[in-house]
């Protein structure tokens, strides 16, 4: 059995609960008592399925900056051990899921584990700092480090992939560019199949960026802000047609994402091509700069 450690909490991010519940199953009352009704509700239709594919992996230990929060997670998801120091995790688990989505905390929490030889999955986005991306790159290449959005595994993408020769891909999402832009960028770049060349900010009342690609195709991403309730949508356009999808099946996407990481831990081989991960993060950073500075940012400005 692959023993997984769950590391970290931050405000507004329920991934420690949803990820742990998908692997371990959960206690509905304890999940709601912890304040995560929204996660309990989306897990409810899958009450009989969370453990079906996970007889060979389990979240067995958790650390958080507040012990009481870690204890609530442990009760909700049947995690056996709450530790007082993340340095204890290498002796207790085979791999770690760093479930904070505030990127500034990723490197300081992940690097000691990676240097101790522990595989780590880092919640999106891995970083918005080009220097950190360069530093963490060898760990991506080695297969010790994984970081991607679960939406790259969204089942709704299958229909979009069936449209040949896309020339334009558009993504629409919520929250902020820095926090949730990667949810759209990663799957959109995979659908477009082209390398971004430059990020161009659009004059809009929300965060909007168009990416010109090396072969002249376009990718547009609109992030509508923290108050938006539209969810995540992708549209693919080609000379022969158009297809659009709302990415709503989070359970299936997250379960496939976690399974990919467990398989990576077992094989030692990256489940997602590190070059694709790096390209998406460089695009995210370029978009961040384009929005902040209101200018076109070439991808060459973001160190590979």
Can you give the three-state secondary structure of 16-65, one letter per residue?
A: HHHHHHHHHCCCHHHHHHCCCHHHHHHHHHHCCCCCCCCCCEEEEEEECC
CATH class of the domain defined by 2-150+252-272: alpha beta
pTM score of the predicted model: 0.95
Domain ranges of the chain: 2-150+252-272, 151-248+281-301
For residue 66, give both structure tokens: 């507040």
**What are 82's strand-pairing partners?**
62
Q: What is the pLDDT of residue 49?
A: 63
pLDDT of residue 134: 95
> Domain 151-248+281-301's class?
alpha beta
Confirm whether 2-150+252-272 and 151-248+281-301 share one CATH topology.
no
CA distance linking residue 190 with residue 194, whole number of Å? 8
Specify whether the CB–CB gap between 34 and 17 falls below 8 A: yes
| CA neighbor of 149 nearest in space, from 281, 275, 17 | 281
> Could you report the average pLDDT of every consecutive run of 10 residues in the chain (304 residues)?
93 91 94 94 79 77 95 96 96 97 94 97 96 96 97 97 96 96 97 96 97 95 95 96 96 94 96 97 98 97 80
Q: Which pLDDT does position 53 carry in this prediction?
A: 54
Distance of CA 285 to the CA centre of its chain: 15
What are 23's two structure tokens?
């692997």
Tell me, what's the pLDDT at 97?
98
Report pLDDT for 303. 75
What is the SS3 string spanning the chain?
Answer: CEEEEEECCCCCCCHHHHHHHHHHCCCHHHHHHCCCHHHHHHHHHHCCCCCCCCCCEEEEEEECCCHHHHHHHHHHHCCCEECCCHHHHHHCCCEEEECCCCHHHHHHHHHHHHHCCCCEEECCCCCCCHHHHHHHHHHHHHCCEECCCHHHHCCCHHHHHCCCCCCEEEEEECECHHHHHHHHHHHHHHHHCCCEEEEEECCCCCEEEEEEECCCCEEEEEECECCCCCCCEEEEEECCEEEEEECCCHHHHHHHHHHHHHHHHHHCCCCCCHHHHHHHHHHHHHHHHHHHHCCCEEHHHCCC
Cis peptide before 122 (omega within 30 of 0): no
């Amino acid at each position: 059995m692959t023993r997984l450690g769950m590391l970290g909490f931050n405000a507004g991010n329920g991934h420690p609960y949803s990820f742990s519940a998908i692997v371990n199953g959960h206690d509905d009352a304890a999940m709601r008592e912890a304040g995560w009704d929204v996660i309990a509700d989306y897990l409810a239709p899958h009450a009989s399925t969370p453990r079906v594919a996970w007889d060979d992996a389990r979240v067995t230990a958790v650390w958080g900056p507040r012990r009481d929060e870690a204890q609530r997670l442990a009760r909700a998801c049947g995690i056996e051990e709450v530790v007082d120091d993340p340095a204890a995790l290498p002796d207790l688990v085979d791999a770690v899921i760093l479930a904070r989505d505030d990127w500034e905390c990723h490197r300081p929490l992940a690097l000691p584990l990676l240097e101790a030889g522990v595989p780590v999955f880092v919640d999106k986005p891995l970083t918005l700092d080009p220097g950190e991306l360069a530093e963490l790159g060898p760990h991506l290449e080695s297969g010790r480090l994984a970081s991607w959005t679960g939406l790259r595994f969204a089942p709704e993408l299958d229909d979009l992939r069936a449209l040949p020769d896309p020339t334009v891909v558009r993504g629409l999402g919520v929250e902020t560019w820095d926090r949730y832009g990667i949810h759209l960028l990663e799957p959109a770049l995979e659908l477009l199949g082209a390398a971004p060349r430059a990020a161009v900010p659009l004059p809009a009342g929300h965060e909007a960026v168009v990416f010109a690609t090396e072969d002249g195709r376009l990718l547009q991403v609109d992030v509508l802000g923290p108050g938006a309730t539209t969810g995540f949508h992708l549209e693919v356009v080609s000379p022969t047609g158009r297809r659009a999808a709302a990415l709503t099946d989070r359970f299936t996407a997250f379960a496939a994402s976690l399974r990919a990481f467990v398989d990576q831990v077992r094989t030692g081989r990256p489940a997602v091509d590190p070059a694709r991960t790096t390209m998406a993060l460089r695009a995210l950073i370029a978009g961040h700069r384009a929005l902040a500075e209101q200018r076109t940012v070439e991808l060459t400005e973001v160190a590979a």
